[in-house]
Structure formats: structure tokens, C-alpha cells
Chain A
């Protein structure tokens, strides 16, 4: 039996070894006392600027449709955005189009708002799980109290101080869609044209949204944990986005190194085989 060349050994490497290297790489860079600065991308800056334009007391709808599976991307986004909204003293309400997100976003909002002294019912509210986003948006455009009826705690939304004078979605200034799914086209299509739409997708969904950014249909975007890190930097806070970013950056470096090594090994093996032939 012919001994294997170094290139053959590299191509036949056990993938579990690569997983282990990736794991060690992530642990090291999560624990390393480093903080990489972020360059602020234009969509994140626009997102920030749009929220800066809000006046105290303005009303914002947060569409939170993420569940446990994308917590690492959507949670840092939502935490950063809520922090900014509370700094601006605006009122906000949540609506969830995903069953799991009802409780996840509620607990997250309760934790963040309690820390900032924001009062439920007066300054913010959660409408719970409202199914079928398209029908829900169309209903809220026509008659919001009849569509939503109650908040997540079972109180009629007409009795919530935060909702006083609100008849439809047109009374809101902004919608922020925090989501791992393709829900933003629904907000663009069916919400009132005066509403500013901001988007917090997972990184997977972000590339498709640039067309909406370009046409002005959405005014700003925070892309995954990377976008959250940029937003945290704008807010001058340290959140999960910042904590994750070292590990994300260096795991990318490792993956790029793996790809380059794998391709180089394959190329060298081909060259060797052609010489032997």
C-alpha cells in the first residue's frame, strides 16, 4: 500500500477535528479580554438616525417574530433597540406573529423595561400572539382595538393608557420588525404609507432586504449580531452583540483558513496526480 501524501491526509481529515478547533476558537475569543471596534454600516446608521428623529411620547410598533432558535441574533438586536427607544422616551407596543415569541419577547421586554423604570400599560404594552400577519396588519390598519382586542395579560387594549387615542396603525410613527422570517414584505405592502419601517433580520435574511433599503421602503436595518454590535457602539453600551463579535470575527477567520487549506490541498493533489499520469 502506497503511503498517503500530505495533501491526501489533509483532504481526509476528520471533520470532528475541525468542529473541535472551531469550538476551542470560539471559547478562547469569548473569554479573551478584547473588544473589537465596529465600523458602522450605513443601514445601521440610518436605523439609528430614524429613531433619533422620534419625539417623546411617539408610538412605535415592534413586531417580534423570533423564537428560541434565533435568540443569539434577534435578542441582541431587540435589547439594543429597546434601550434606544426608552432613551428617547417613546411609547411602544409589541405584537408577535410567532407563538413562541409571545413569551420570549414579553420576558425580555419586562426585564429591560423594569431596569429602566418603564411602566407596563402606560409606556409600553404587549398584544400577545396575533396570527396571520397579513390579516392582522390589514385589521390593525382599519381598526386596531377590534383586531387586537386584548393585551397579553387579558386587559382590553382600549383600557390601556398607552393606547389612548389610538384607533389604527396610522396613529403609530414607526414599525420595527425583529424577525428571522420574511415578514417585512408584509409590513411594507399593507401598512400605512406614513409609517417608517425599520428591519432587524437575522443575517440569513439580510441580503434580500437591500432592495427594500435601496428603494426606501425600509429606512434602516440591523443585520444579525454584527448589526447589534454596531448599534450598541452607537448607543455606547456593551450588550450581547459586542460580546459575541470577537468570537464571530475569529470563527470567520478560521473558516476562511479551512476553505483555503482545503482548496489548496485539492489543487496540489490534482497537480500531483496529473504528474503521475
Chain B
């Protein structure tokens, strides 16, 4: 009887869990077949997520970075920022659509500048690291093991063959084509690894929900740990 009393939604905490279970089962009902219950909960989730974002956007962004500096600190220059951003909505007007392009232009310009820095910070160290990979054991790198050397050689060989595969400036023939085919195979292995990880991620998410059903709702002791 104690278990039943704890199980039923008689407290706010339990009610919360029951609502979570209802949502979980409704969403997973799609696995059986398409149905109106699933559709309802799907739309509700999208609506909730969008509505929820309004809170943080209003409190953490608009108030913190716009209203407060203007009203409390007197930075009146900020007053134009939000109206300027809202010019984007002119995109829906046939007559004044050109106004939105001013904001779009600003965004593209800013993004380009930002990504220029990103390219150099992100890829140049990788290039540097690749060029510095030792491909043989010598006095300059006494800590290197045979395994590390094989790893480095494989790395460089795969890098060059994949780059060859993406060379489209001329027709690939003979040995170049063979290297490119190897590059394609290596790419497929890479994509397979990504897909394998994707399966693991999706399984983990499913297991997380089943764990919730067993542990939080049914209050069963999950013994894996």
C-alpha cells in the first residue's frame, strides 16, 4: 500500500512525473503508428519550447542588454538597436523589402569578419600540427613509439588521399584516380564512425527515457549501477 501511495500522483512532485510519463508515452506512440495523440503532444512540445524561450530572451537579453542600459544607465544610443534589428521584418513587404537588406548586409558583414578570424584560429593550428607530425623515429623525437609513427603515417596518407578526392580542378586519371578512390573509402569509414556514434547517441536518449519510466515513475531499483 505504501508503494501505491507513493506511486499515485498525490503530490506536486509525483504529478510532475506522471505528466512527464504521459508526454513520453504519447511521443513514443508514433513507433506504433501515426496518431492524433502523438501529433497533439508534438505540437505542444514545439509550442512549449518556443514559448519557454521567450522568458530567457525577455529577461536575459532584452532587459539585461537593452532596457536596463537605456533606462537605468542612460545609454540612449542603444535605443536604435532593436528597431534597427526589426527592420528585418520588412522582408515580408513587397514595397519596402529593400529595407531588410540593410540589416542583412550588416549581419553578413559582421559574420564575415568574425569567421575570417575563426578560419585562422581553427584551421591553421591543425595544419601546423599535421606538418609537424614525425614520420620516423630519430634523435629529434626519442619518445616516439612504432605505434605512434604508424598512426602518423596513416594520418598523413588518409589526409592526402581525401584531399585528392576533393580535387575537382582536372579530370582524375591513373594513379591520381586510384588515390582518390582510396580517399573516398577513408571518407566512408569516417562517415561510418559518425553513424555508429549517432546510433549510440540515439540509444542513450531512448535509454534515458526508459530509465525515467522505470526509476522515477515505477520507482524500480535500476540495478545496472
Contact = CB atoms under 8 A, between A and B. Distances in A.
A38 B36 CA distance: 43
Nearest to A251: B203
A34 B223 contact: yes
A23 interface: yes
A65 to B, nearest CB: 13
B60 interface: yes
A105 interface: no
A90 B168 CA distance: 52
A215 B129 contact: yes
A29 B203 CA distance: 13
Contact of A247 (B130, B220, B224): B224
A204 B197 contact: yes
B64 interface: yes
A214 B154 CA distance: 13
6 contacts: A202-B201, A217-B122, A223-B197, A243-B225, A247-B207, A251-B207
B190 to A, nearest CB: 7
B122 to A, nearest CB: 5
Given A203-B204, A204-B198, A215 B118 contact: no
A58 B65 CA distance: 29
Nearest to B114: A134
Contacts of B57: 99, 129, 131
B205 interface: yes
A28 to B, nearest CB: 10
A255 B64 contact: no
Contact of A224 (B193, B200, B210): B200
B147 to A, nearest CB: 12
A203 B118 contact: no
B207 A244 contact: yes
Contact of B126 (A27, A131, A215): A215
Main SS of the interface on chain A?
A: helix
A242 B43 CA distance: 34
Contacts of B128: 215
A244 B204 contact: yes
Contacts of A185: 118, 122
A243 B205 contact: no
B206 interface: yes
Interface in B47-61: 49, 52-53, 55-57, 59-61
Contact of B125 (A33, A216, A245): A216
Interface stretch (A5-13, A69-77, A81-89, A268-276): A69-77
Contacts, number: 162
Interface residues of B, number: 48
Main SS of the interface on chain B?
A: helix
A207 interface: yes
Interface in B104-130: 114, 117-118, 121-122, 125-126, 128-130
Contacts of B125: 215-217
A211 B128 CA distance: 12
A35 B224 contact: yes
Interface string A176-210: 00000000011011100000000000111011100
A192 to B, nearest CB: 11
Interface in A209-255: 211-212, 214-217, 223-226, 238-240, 242-248, 251-252, 255
Interface string B27-60: 0000110000000000000000100110111011
A113 interface: no
Given A73-B204, A246-B224, A99 B56 contact: yes
A91 interface: no
A37 to B, nearest CB: 13
Contacts of B129: 214-216
Contacts of B193: 207
A19 B52 CA distance: 32
A149 to B, nearest CB: 6
B210 A30 contact: yes
Given A26-B210, A31-B214, A129-B57, 5 more contacts: A223-B197, A224-B200, A244-B224, A247-B203, A251-B203
